[in-house]
Amino acid sequence: MLLQPVWNFLLGHSSLLRSPFFQVFFSLTVYLIFCLPFLLLDLLSSRWSLVRRYKLQPQSSVNWTTVKSCLALNLYNHLVFIFPLTVLNWYLRPVVLPQEAPPLPQMVAQVLVCLLLFDFQSFIWHLLHHKVPWLYRTFHKVGSEFKLHHTYTSTSALTAEYSGAWEILSLGLFAAVNPLLLGCHPLTEMLFFIVNIWLSVEDHCGYDLPWATHRLIPFGLYGGARHHDLHHLKSKCNFAPYFTHWDRLAGTLYT
């Protein structure tokens, strides 16, 4: 009952939801909207000490060259790699839009499970690139396209998707497959994508804000921006993107 009005509104735009362009437009738009507040903070941090005090690396700054480089690569990846695969998926698996919205408890539970699965898959994938010599030589060493994501040791929101094709496609596959494995409702799938994009942007924002996700989740279970900023600084620690339990178990957690 709580979600039905929202789903009815979306069903009123079913032609857009069924479009092969929707997924690319949706993910890119959500990503850029989430980046905007942090870009504003980057502009203000050079002038206001009140903002700069929350920066994880106060000596760093974001310039327009970085912004343009990140935006250009992001648009390139979406147009050249993500869009063709989205069209192929749209052709092979037509969009099905049920009339009823999912129950709220089920939606929340499935989004959490999708996040936990994505976190585990990303952790294993990332760890393997450091442990398997062939993967490291081919994709992870300096100069490879994978290393693009580690170009910036000081993170900012737009660096969340500053990655080569191999990383974009691998992590995109994990994010797309998990809702299918769980049989998620399209509304649940959309919410998962929104939450996943937000957490990724927040991970790379470069700020330790009082309302950050890692401050809301107790017992150090969630790493957040501080956790992931250390990964960009030191590279061989904190491989999981969000939660800390896998790095703690593997002995790769650094705080």
Q: Which residues contact 147 (CB under 8 A, 6 or more apart)?
A: 140, 141, 164
Q: Is 79:9 a contact under the CB 8 Å cutoff?
A: no
Is residue 84 pLDDT above 70, yes or no? yes
Provide the pLDDT for residue 110: 98
What is the identity of the amino acid at 104?
A: L
Kindly indicate the confidence band of residue 18, based on its pLDDT and cuts at 50, 70 and 90: very high
pTM above the 0.85 mark? yes
Kindly indicate the confidence band of residue 140, based on its pLDDT and cuts at 50, 70 and 90: low
Of 3, 6, 33, 2, whose CA–CA distance to 17 is shortest? 6
Indicate the domain borders of the chain.
3-250
First-to-last alpha carbon distance for the chain, in angstroms, is 43
pLDDT in tens, 29-40: 999 999 999 999
Please tell me what DSSP assigns to residue 47.
T
